[in-house]
Amino acid sequence: MLDVQGSDAPLTICPNGNPSSECSHCKVRALSICSALEGDEVQALDKITRHISFAKHETLFAQGDLLDAVYNITSGSVRLVKLLPDGRRQIVGFALPGDFLGLSMSERNGFSAEALSVTATCQFPRKDFSALLDAKPHLLRRLHSMASHELSLAQDQMVILGRRTAEEKVASFLLGLRKRWARIDGSTVRAPLPMSRQDIGDFLGLTVETVSRMMTKLARDKVIVIVPDGVRLLDPARLEALAET
């Protein structure tokens, strides 16, 4: 973990600004809760912010640890992992730039967060962030809006796990990622996959062999083309038809 606040290392986030005004220039601000803040409010948030980078595979926080900080992902990607009592793991989600982690009402983390790539974050002490929410009702409304969206995603995931075929699950996953990345970089045909096939399988309730077989089938059917960093959608309409079956 690298804390870049006050160091001589080049800042990996908000490169157009400086440590005292990075929030104003943050590239993912429009995607996150911070978009509800303006002017002096942004400066107030900046005062409680630490800019921390995590190496690939490094843990942001572990399941069961005290939930004492909130994280905004500003670059990179994170897998969210829950360990079951019998030792098995379940991937419960993937965090991308603009996503907030640590907003649960619980006192301890319900899952672990692990960097899939070099990941930059803004970290806020939970106590200070909660005080800011109390003082800024419009920030709290933005938080409620994001929570409602995440609940909708969780409900969709329940349907995918319980009622879809393997091919439909993979198609839905790729479309969902494409939509999330499109909010970040504007691309409508690209879906980066920083996670492994095993991660995808653990998220979708499939074996790694099944995930690989479905990806190969979609590529053979010219629905997608597999590229080094993920996939490109050759036939989005057909993929959407599969996902909506």
Identify which has the larger pLDDT, 152 or 172: 172
For the chain, give the percent of residues with pLDDT over 90.
Answer: 46
42-88 pLDDT per residue, tens: 777 788 889 999 999 999 999 999 999 999 999 999 999 999 888 88
Mind listing the domains of the chain with CATH numbers?
Answer: 2-150 (2.60.120.10), 164-243 (1.10.10.10)
Verdict on whether the full-model pTM lies above 0.75: yes
127-157 pLDDT per residue, tens: 888 887 777 776 666 665 666 555 565 556 5
pLDDT greater than 70 at residue 106? yes
Question: Looking at the DSSP assignment, which residues form a beta bridge with residue 101?
Answer: 71
Question: Do residues 83 and 114 touch, judged by C-beta distance below 8 A?
Answer: no
Residue 209 pLDDT: 97
Closest CA relative to residue 182, chosen from 174, 191, 173, 169: 191
Closest CA relative to residue 20, chosen from 38, 36, 44: 44
Residue 156's alpha-carbon distances to 17, 58, 94, 233, in angstroms, are 38, 29, 15, 22
- 67: helix, strand or coil: coil
Determine the Cα–Cα distance for residues 26 and 30; give it in Å rounded to an integer.
Answer: 8
Helix ranges (DSSP H) in 10-165? 22-25, 40-47, 126-135, 137-163
Residue 242's alpha-carbon distances to 3, 93, 235, in angstroms, are 44, 22, 11
